[in-house]
Structure formats: C-alpha cells, structure tokens
A and B are shown apart, each in its own frame.
Chain A
Amino acid sequence: MTEIAELVRTQVDLSGLMRVLAKNLYSTPEVAVRELVQNAHDSCVRRQLEDKSAFEPRIIVTADPAAGTLAIRDTGAGLTREEIDRYLATVGAGYTGRLREQGLGDGLIGQFGIGFLSAYVVSERVELSTTSYQTPDQGWLFSSAGGERYSVRPHPAGQVGTTVLLRLNERFRLLSNPEAVSRLLQRYCCLLPFPIHLADASAPPVNRPPPPWRLSAEEVPSPLRRKRLGLEFASRFERQFEPLCTFDVAPGHGGEARGLLWIQDGATYGTSDNRNVCVFVRGMMVSRDARDLLPEWAGFCGGVIEADGLNPTASREDLQKDAAFHATAAQLRETLIEGLATLAREDAATWRRVVMRHNEALLGAALCDDRLLALLADVLKVPTSEGDLTLPAIRRRSGTRVHISTGEAGGSEEVLFRALGVPVVEGTRYAALPFTQRFVEREGGAVVMLGTREGNAQLFRPAEVSPETLEKLKALFAEDGVELVPARFSPPALPLVRVPDRDAELKERLARDEADKRIGAAVLGLARAFTATLPSNAKARLYLNLDAPALQAVLAAPPERAKEGAALLRALCTLVARGDERAVGQSVSTALEQLSGALAALLSSGK
C-alpha cells in the first residue's frame, strides 16, 4: 500500500445515472441526509453483527454553515480499502444488500446500495474517512467530485467508524444550517434506534424521546401525559395546522402499522384535502405524503406510521400500491372511525371542537360510512334558510318532515317554502341534500322536495270538493294541459301554486318533430320508446288551496267578480314565481297586465 492517492474510475456510467437521480429519483435534496444517516445506521448494525467487541453505536451529524459542509460520523463497521472499491464505486452493490441476502439484515434499512450516490447530487466534493474494525490500525480517505472518478489515500487511523463530509453545492447550502438539519433529522430519523446527535456526542440525541407508540404503558402510565406526548409528536409532522387530538394506530384490522393519526385544528370546507401521512419503513421515512392511505373523506387528518410490510418504490419516496398498501389503508380507516367514536364517548369537549371545526367535511364523511353517520347524525349542522341547524333542531320546528330546496322546482318553490315558516335545508350546499336524506332514512320522517312527485304529495294534500265547486274552479282556472288539483296546504295565505311535471314536459319535447333535427335517429328512437313507458300526465299541476281565504272569497263571489279575482290570483301566482315561465305558464308582462286589469275592474265595479 503506498501513500500516494489512487485515482480510480467508477464502474458505471455515472453521468447518466446522476442526471436521473438528480431529477427523478430524489426530488428533494434533504433525501441525501436521510440516505447518509441510513448508511451510518446500517454500518452500526453491521458492526453489531460482525464485530464481537463492545462499542457504543451512535451517529453524529455536524452542520457548518460557515464552511458550507455537512458531516455524518458513525461508530459503525468502517470500510477496508477493498470494500471502498467494492461498495462505493459500484452502483447496486451496497453491503446492506449482501447482508440481507444472507438473511442477516432485519435491522437494516438500505435496499438498493445507491444511497451514497445521493451525496453527489448535493455536493461539489464528497470526502469519506474511514477505519474498519477489521483493520483498526489503517485509515483511508476517499474523495470524489461528482462520483465519476475518485481517489483513495491512506489516512491516520482513528476511532473505528466512518465520517462522510459533504462540501455542499451552492444550491444546497441550506443543508449546512444546523437548525434546518435538526428539523430534518427529527422528522426523517426519529424512529432510528441508535442515538443521533447534532454537532457533538454530548448533545441530547435528536431522535429522543422515541415516538409515543413505542413507549410502553409502564414507561408512561399517565393517560394525560400520553395524550400530551402524542400531540407534541404530531405537531412535529403536521406542517399547516396544530393537531387537535390524536389516535393511536396499533396492529389490527388486517394491517400491521403502528403510529399516530390526528385531527387538524383548522377549519375546513367540505372537500378541503389536507391529508398527509408520513410513512416509515424499517425506521426510515419513505414517504412524506402518502395521503391515499387515509380515506378520501378524511381531508382534516394527518398521520405518522411505521409499517415494515409496506413497499417503497425504487426512489424510496413513495409506496407501491400493492395489497399491503390497501390493507394498511383499511387499518387506518378503521382506526380513525374507532378513534372518533371513542372521542365522542369519552372526551366530549374535544369531540365538540372536532365537530365544530370540520362540520362540513364530516357531513361528507358521514355519507361514506354508516358508522360515522350513526355517530354524527344528531350533531352535524346543515345550512338552512334560518342558519346552520342540526337535523333534530329542524325537526323540532317542522315535525317529521324536513323540507329541502334545490331550486329545481321552479320559482314557486322558494316562496312556498319561505311562507311555510319552517327552516328549509339549502340542498345546493355541500353534502346537505344527501346527508339530510340519509338522516331521514335512518331516523324516520320524510324529506319534502318540491317538484318531485313524492314531495308534492307530501305538501299538497288533495281535498274532496263537491262537483259544483269543481266546476266552478275549472271555469275560473282551467288551462290547456294543466291539471287542476283542489288541495289543502300551508300557509293559507298562499292561494295557489303551479308545479311543472318534468316527465310530461320531456315526453312532449321529445315527441315533437323538431327533436329529429336535434338528436340522432337511433338514440331518439330509444328515448321515445322510453318516454312511451311514462304515465301520461299533464305538463303542470295547479294546486288550489281550499284553506286559503282568498280562494274561498273568489269561490263565494258573484261570477263576474270571481273571474276578476281568479285573474288576480293567477297573476299573483306568476309574480311570486319570479318570472319562471315554466312554473307559471304565462309571462310576467301578461301577469302584470292581468293584475292591473283585474284590479281596475274590481275597483270600478266597487264604485
């Protein structure tokens, strides 16, 4: 062995690979820190396996902003001269892989032997000084800029272990900032078993205390302290919000993951998606954003889990969506649902805060799972004409019926509902309509949607009238294609409502010749075959309210007056429908003319 540095060419086409690495494999530079700490960790594991002498495994990371360097020192196995060539110069030949092949690598993280290359992505030069436990009297200094060539020279033997010094690129100088590195280590390396120190070994390890789920009940007997540890740990990972409460993830429900889930303490809209899940595999973070592990409805949740059964993709920045992934997703879903149920039962104050913060998102969630619906049916609020109300509160006001407006039934709908004097659910707002429907299916009662056949039947109770009254009504209100329905409904101040029949309208439109010009013959044939199966209804129904004093007065008036009165009421009907001509059958201008004419006639006849 000479003192002269050897210059060696690496055995692969690095420039191409580095481009790929830099661009695709590692989208974030901090991954380099993760990879090198992982190498340091694996080196300690290797020494535990191979070297029988006692040693204290530890990793020390030193960031020097003035020098623009980052150093990762370990007390692991170190490398011999031969190993340097074999493992640092050959992509895919990491020692970790070999140990694993021999079935020895349960505590190991690395998989691909390419972690070291990430150092080149962020550095101008990488220097590695090492002393192997096999040759404790001989040290080596490896040095390379860019990785295509490297030199190895003898170096005074030091403590057994390895130090990797990165002389950082200008672009990645942030990695020499101790605070930034500390935060990185806290997140990326918090699950590694060996102590990791920042700057020097006397500083408290950054990966202590261990995550709460690794602490036994004996270590932390107080539930309150456990709760606080959970919240503290969660706030390290939740970037946008404070965590409001946490749920422990434990193996079960077909999944093997352990960890924490939490609810965020920030208000959300129905479809806000702030899900985030950090995933650790064999102690190393492999994904910061495995949001798909949480159900789509859980837009207000975050989590950290460790699950060695999950499989990272080659870049180790994401997870393969395989059977283990789906099993873990199911496990987290169940954990979340059980956690919410426990919260509701045992911590009313926090539960109410969760409900208040995430009312809208939870409306959507309740639709996805019947257990959530059972939990939330009584406590979530839906938007109504009288502010946000829970459904039990609405039913206290409107009896067994819950009225919903979707604006589909034409202009009369809003007026009728407003006149009813009960809260009306605003069905066009997020989740309000399906949540209300599901609530009523569950708890009983009826949903009343105007414009639907069922809704109309609920609102307008058909009334028996004598043949003479019916004749009178026909004479006063009959129109072509409109069915007169004598009925009784609230409020009595509303004498008549006209509701279009959508199926009848469709049938009529498709039957017209002009439809042939608009729609292809084959599909129109199918459409006509379908509408032929629909019952033949009038295109609209005019519900005449026999409880209305105005209508009663018209019926009691002498024929001429009655005619004028009926015209007045019809015009009123048009005007309250706010110009929705589909619902009223006449234009607003005609209505106004009719109103003026009838009023003039009434006043002049009263003289």
Chain B
Amino acid sequence: MDIWDWVERSVEDARKAGRHRLAELILRVPQWATNDDHAQLDAVMPEALALAREAKSPWLEVYFRHWNLQSRVLHRLEVTEWMSEAARLLDYAHSDAAKGCPQSVCVTQDFASCFGHLDGPGYVEERLAAARETLSRIDATWPCFTCISTECAAALADGERLEESLAFLDKQEAALLSAGLGRLRQRFLGSRVDTLLELGRPREALELLEAAGDPADENERLERQIHQARALGLLGQLDEAREVLPTPDMMKPALNLYRLWAEAAGLLAAKGARPNDWLLERTLLEMEDALSKNGAVRKAFGIARERAWLALLRRARTTALHACARMEALLPRLRRPLGADVDVARTRAEALALPRPQPPLPDSPDALLDEEREGGPEEALDAYRAARERWPGHEGLVQAEASALEALGRAAEAEEVLRAHLAREPGALYVLRRLLGLYLQRRRLDALRALAGDLLGQGGPVGAQATARWYLAQAALAEQKPDEAKTHLRALVELDPDSLPATLRLASLEREGGELEAALARLNVAVARWPEPGPHDWERMVVATLMDRWEAVRDSAARLGLPVPGESGPVYDEDGPLCRVRFIEENGELSDLFAEQTGPVTARVLSIALPGYPQHTGDEVVFTMPPLNPPPAPEDQGRHTWLYPVVAVKRPGHQYVFELEGVHPGPEPLEALRTALRGVDARVSVRSDDRYWVSSPLPEEQVDGLELKGLYALVAVPPEVSLAGVDAVLRDVTAGWKYPLVWRGLLEKLGREEELARHRELAEKYNLEG
C-alpha cells in the first residue's frame, strides 16, 4: 500500500472538486510537522479538520489527526495532553466510518509511541508486541514499514538489547532493498547511529553519517548534527564536535531531541570542549522542565541525571542535590524504575560527599551584594545562602538569593525563599513586594490573592496592607475586573492617602466606569495635596471637561502653565493646533483621524470617513495625556502632529456625509464650489487623485479609450444645516458645467426621485460604481 500515492490522488480529487485549500493543506501539513513548524501546524489544524469533515472524508480526517499527533507526540512529546486523542484516533481509524483507511497503521504507531515517550524502557515488552503485531500485517512496500521497524528497534535498544536491535535493522533493511526500496544504510540512519554510539562504536557511526545523503527535514538535520557531535566528541575531535552541535536556540522546537542533545552537550562539557557552567545547567533544566511537564518522564529523568553528573564534575554540590531531588520526584512517575532508583541513591550519596560550599564572606552583607560575581548565579547562590546563615534577617540577601534562583530558571524556588522569609518576618516589605511582583509576573494570581488575603486578614502594618491592596488591584486588572480593582484601590487610598499612583489609577478607573463625581472629588483633593503640577492635573482636566466643570479645567491649566482662551466658562479654542486623535471602533480597529485641538484635552474631528465606515467627522472629543506617538525628530518638526487617545465623544458630530462624483471640473470651479458649500457650513474633502478616470457622458465623446480626469469627493453637512439648502448650492454652482456632477446619496435622502433617476443615469454613463 503506497500511502503517498493515495495522498497524491486525494490532492487531485480535492482540486477537481474545487477544494483548493484542502488540497494545499494535504500537501503542507506533513511538511510543517516534520520541519518543527509547530505554530503553523497548530494554526491550520482546526481548519484542516473542518475541511476534511466538510468534504465528508473520514480518511482525510484520520490523515490530519495523525500528522497533528506526529507533531504533538513524536516531535513535541506532549504525551500527557494528547494521549486521549491518540486513543480516540486509534478507535476512530478502526471504526466503520474510516474502514480501510491507509493510515490506520500509522495511527496505531502514534498511540504506541506515546508509551515509548512516557517511559520507553518501562514499556519495552508492550511496545515490541504492538510493533510486531503491526509488522506482521504489512510488508516492506508500505511506507509505515520503516516507521514501525524504527519503533521496534528503539524498543529493543530501550531494553538494552543493542546488538539485537542492530541485527533487526539489518534484517529490515534487507527486506527494503529486496523490495527495491531505499539505499543501503540510509533508511534507519538515526536508529543505527544511536545504537552504535551506545555500543561505543563512534567511528562506524561517523562513517555512516558522513556517507548519508541530504536529511529529509529540519528535525532530521538537527538529529544528525547532534549524533555527529557526540561521535566526534567520543573520538576526541573536540573542535569539530563543538562546531557541529546545534545551539540551544536552534533546539528549541525539537523536544524529541532534547535528551540526545543533553547527552552530547554533557559529553563535550565533560571533555572541556564547552564550558560546564551555570548556563548549560539552566539550558538543561529548561529542557528537563519542558519534558517533565509534557509527560516524557524517562527522558526528563535522563536530563536530570545529566545535570547531576555535570554538577558533580564541576563540584557544584547545591545544583547536584537539586538535580537529585528532581530525579526523586520523577521516579514514581516511571512505570518501572529499572535501576533508576539505585542510580538516584548513588548520585545523592556522591553529591553529599562533596564538601559543603564555604565561600569567603566579606564583613557586611551589603559588601557581598556589591561584589561582582564571575561564577554566575550558581556560585552566587551558595554565597548568599552562606551569608544568610550569618545575617539571617537581611532583606537584601533574601532578594539576592531569589534573583539567583530566578536566573538559574528556578522561579518556583525563588518564590519559596521569599515566602519562607515572610513567614518569619511578616514586616519585610521589600521581600513582600518582590514576592507579589513575582506572582504577578508569573500570572500566579491565586497565590497572589492567597498571600495578600492573609496579610489583610492579619491586619499587619499599614505598609504591608497597602502593598497587598496594590497587588490585588493589579491582579484584578490583569483579569479585566475593574470593579474589584477599584475596591482595593479605595481601601489603599484610605490606608495611605499619600499614594499618588493609587490615587491616579483609581481616578482613571472611576472615570472609565462613569463615576465622574467621585473621580473629580478625588482629583480635587489630589491637587490640594500635591502642589507640584503633574499627571493629576491632566487627569483632572479630562474629568472636569467631561462634566463641564470649567473652573477646575482652568485651574489645572493655570497650574500647568497652559494658556486657555477666556477668563471663565467653557474652554473652546477656535484656532487650536492640528492634531490627530485615535478612536477604537466597535470591531476593535483603530482610526487615527485629523482634528483641531480646541482645549488642553479636547479636539474636534476634521477627517471625513467614507460612507459605510464609522463616521466621526465633527465629533467633539476628550482625550488623555500623554500622546501615543513619540516627539518628532529634528528634521520632521514641521510635519509632526501629536496623536492622542480618545476617551469619550463629548458631542457627536452627527454630520451627514454624501459622495460627490463625476468629471473633475478643474481647480478653479472646484474651489468655487468649495467656497459656496463652506458658505452653508458644509465641508468638501476630495479623495480622488490623478489616477482616477471616468468615461464621458456625451454621445459625441463615446469613443473607445477616451477618458476624463474624475472627481470623487465627500461632503460633510452638520445636522443643523438644511440638506435642501446644500442641494440648492450644488445645483446653483454646477449649473452650466459641461460635465454635471452627481450626488445620488443626498438626493435619495431628500426623496427627490426624479432628479435621483437622472443622476443615476448619468452615473452609469460616467461608469461610476454603485
């Protein structure tokens, strides 16, 4: 059975049926899966499944779900999360609906491989049985023959039956060759090389790698480089080995190769070909964390083992013990220990046998904190811990220890250190802030709430309570719960009336929630409390403008030294500068529109939007500070306009906008029209340029190719202006023009059916749209 033949036919069928997107996805999904383009795969997977279902093709559904599992389980090792789906797909691929599906074999493999990744050595017998069962049903002509044979060899190798594994690969390769498929030593390259390296035969492994053709995909390329590095490392060719080993950055998407990489990098570090330092430790810990989280328990254990071994080599007792603790935590998740328990016990004993770190300490904790540390956070951690034994209450040391742990990729422990200190010293304000900040940064909002709640319950010192309130408010805002945030901020301001950030944040939340009186009262108090003008004055002007409390606007403007016209009453500057204002439309799109500034925090929109789009022209808006754009570069001074975020439309423009179209009358007549319309308060905005052409409406000019420069303009009319008056002006000014203009929208609005029909006819002659 040639699956790829079926895939090609499926692509053809999909194209014939007009399902081009489906055809594209059939071809590209396997590429994304094997090249570790996981994000692309995730982006299309729901769509691919929906298209397969829409095409009523259970086989294609199996196909896409299989490739998804290839990415999720075989490449990303997301065993815990996807085992259910692998089982469901196994069931579906063997159901009546998908009967005969050519990929049902692959699906069997997907499911069995979950166990290989969970705990390969722990499931050797089951995996062998499953692979042999499948192999008994297919022959070498099936593409699955290679995959299943690879799995079988891997199971043998996991069972430490290495020679048997090699012999098995030889047998399978012979079968492939006699079926006329494949090149010698090419099909099972990865498995073979892996086994040879385990057997301590790096020279042969290297020869195989060097003789191999191009890798099929990115993942295979990385695998070969890692194998090559390890073989070269074993042969003592260290420079070449270092050169060829992929960087941690390149490894990121290839979780299936983490274990291999750890082994190769560890080997090179042990041989001095790369630093055996805290950076390698952190990389390995990140890899271990990722695998452990995904459920690839045995591989995670292997990396923890590697970390411990490297830490022992560099005599980093603390790290070695940390790695041991990780191994111990992973043990119960393995199906069978198979010696792992003995291994941990021995490693722990070796770690404990290392001398306790006794870094030299200066005379004071502050001197220690000021020291430059060459050995990185791993060494610093020992120093801070030793120092804390001498100066147990020092908050700076606690924070430094937490920072060192964070730098080592151990944020959870950093939290623990801070928490333990707080339990002993509830008044340690800096430590408290640091811990709450860490919770917020890691989005551990439940932990944040629990700690802050305890502090409030205990009714401790004001500083601690205020800090707790501030972070509770931040947590609420992170979850889009403004009312909850306001409750905490109000309590905070009551506890600590001197907190300007809390006052300002609360006032702006109150303003956003429509509680304008409360906000203004708060800001009036703020202005009295903080005589230096500042952001509280700007916020006060925003709120006061919304409420027409002009005396407050004028007062804050005066405090800030801003000139405003008039002595009292509404602030409205007829000659304000040009600016831009940003609206957030209903669908979330942003509209940046030109406007004229009418006060310190107000503007009137000038830009006219096309009909059918949100219309803001004439809107009088209130905006906040600071502007959204940076100040201009010196050479852009003349062209720069500030851009402000709109907080509210104080007076909607309600302007009526219609289109004015036809042949461009030339600059002078157009100016005359513009002037006449301005006389009735209507504004014209020309949108067409030299690239816009229309046909002539005159019968004598109806010749091919004759086109005239066109005009497309928008006219905005304020609500108080009579539309009939505007129509009259248009008729009056354009009377006698060789090519009349068309204003269908206005005529329709006025209900002038007869004229409308004439304009429509004309529009058709001009070849206008709509």
Contacts and interface: CB of A to CB of B under 8 A. Distances in A.
Interface of A: 221-223, 270-271, 296-297, 323, 326, 330, 345-346, 348-349, 352, 363-364, 367-368, 378-379, 381, 387-395, 399-400, 406-407, 427-435, 443-445, 502-503, 506, 509-510, 515, 518-523, 525-527, 530-531, 534
B91 interface: yes
Interface string B75-90: 0000000011001101
B587 A390 contact: yes
Given A406-B46, A526-B111, A527-B87, A348 B40 contact: no
B66 to A, nearest CB: 15
Given A271-B24, A395-B480, A390 B592 contact: no
A367 B44 contact: no
Given A433-B46, A510-B87, A526-B130, 9 more contacts: A296-B37, A352-B592, A364-B39, A389-B588, A400-B479, A430-B44, A434-B39, A518-B94, A522-B130
B112 A523 contact: yes
B594 to A, nearest CB: 12
Contacts of A428: 46-47, 49-50
A381 B585 CA distance: 12
A381 B46 contact: no
Contacts of A443: 478, 480
14 contacts: A223-B635, A296-B35, A297-B39, A368-B40, A379-B590, A387-B587, A399-B480, A431-B44, A434-B42, A434-B43, A445-B479, A510-B87, A520-B133, A523-B112
A278 B169 CA distance: 44
> Which 5 pairs, one residue from A and one from B, show the smallest C-beta to C-beta distance?
A390-B588, A393-B588, A431-B43, A428-B50, A522-B129
Contact of A367 (B42, B83, B643): B42
B633 interface: yes
Contacts of A434: 39, 42-43
Contact of A368 (B39, B132, B480, B630): B39
A523 B44 contact: no
Interface residues of B, number: 58
A530 B643 contact: no
B588 A392 contact: yes
Interface in B85-105: 87-88, 90-91, 94-95
A395 B53 CA distance: 30
A211 B108 CA distance: 56
A348 B42 contact: no
B87 A271 contact: no
Contact of A527 (B90, B479, B636): B90
B371 interface: no
Contacts of A352: 590, 592
B134 interface: yes
B94 A297 contact: no
Nearest to A530: B87
Contact of B88 (A270, A349, A506): A506
A363 B43 contact: yes
Contacts of B250: 326
Contacts of A515: 91
Given A502-B88, A520-B134, A445 B108 contact: no
A523 B39 contact: no
Contact of B443 (A367, A389, A395, A444): A444
B115 interface: yes
A224 B162 CA distance: 67
A381 B587 contact: yes
B130 A297 contact: no
Contacts of A435: 43
B441 interface: no
Which residue among B37, B108, B243, B588 has the maximum number of chain A CB atoms within 10 Å of its CB? B588
A344 B267 CA distance: 45
Given A364-B43, A367-B42, A393 B587 contact: yes
Nearest to A399: B480
Interface on chain B toward A: helix, strand, loop, or mixed SS? helix
Contacts of B586: 393
A357 to B, nearest CB: 14
A531 B134 CA distance: 21
Contacts of A444: 443, 445, 478-480
A513 to B, nearest CB: 14
Nearest to B477: A444
A519 B130 CA distance: 11
B130 A510 contact: no
A429 B480 contact: no
A400 B83 contact: no
A348 B589 CA distance: 13
Interface string B244-287: 00000110000000000000000000000000000000000000
Nearest to A391: B588
A487 B46 CA distance: 30
A445 B588 contact: no
A297 B87 contact: no
B592 to A, nearest CB: 6
A433 B590 CA distance: 23
A518 B44 CA distance: 30
A510 B92 CA distance: 10
Given A389-B587, A390-B589, A523 B111 contact: yes
A154 B90 CA distance: 81
B46 A427 contact: yes
A517 to B, nearest CB: 9
Nearest to B50: A428
Nearest to B244: A323
Contacts of A406: 46, 50
A221 B137 CA distance: 73
Interface string B584-620: 1111111010000000000000000000000000000
Contacts of B115: 526
Given A381-B587, A520-B130, A526 B112 contact: yes
A519 B587 contact: no
Contact of B589 (A221, A326, A381, A395): A381
Contact of A407 (B50, B137, B584): B50
B28 interface: yes
A427 B49 CA distance: 11
Interface in B623-679: 628-630, 633, 635-636, 643
B588 A381 contact: yes
A349 B592 contact: yes
A523 B633 contact: no
Interface string B24-57: 1000100010010101101110110110010000
A400 B479 CA distance: 7
B46 A271 contact: no
A521 B133 contact: yes
A515 B94 CA distance: 9
A352 B585 CA distance: 14
Given A297-B40, A527-B90, A400 B111 contact: no
A237 B87 CA distance: 51
B133 A523 contact: yes
Contacts of B592: 348-349, 352
Contacts of B37: 296
Contacts of B39: 297, 364, 367-368, 434
Interface string B175-214: 0000000000000000000000000000000000000000
B130 A506 contact: no
A296 B31 CA distance: 11
B526 to A, nearest CB: 29
Contacts of A445: 479-480
B126 interface: yes
B274 to A, nearest CB: 16
A160 B193 CA distance: 60
B731 interface: no
A296 B126 CA distance: 39
A523 B129 CA distance: 8
A445 B629 CA distance: 29
A88 B624 CA distance: 75
B481 interface: yes
Nearest to B83: A530
Nearest to B480: A400
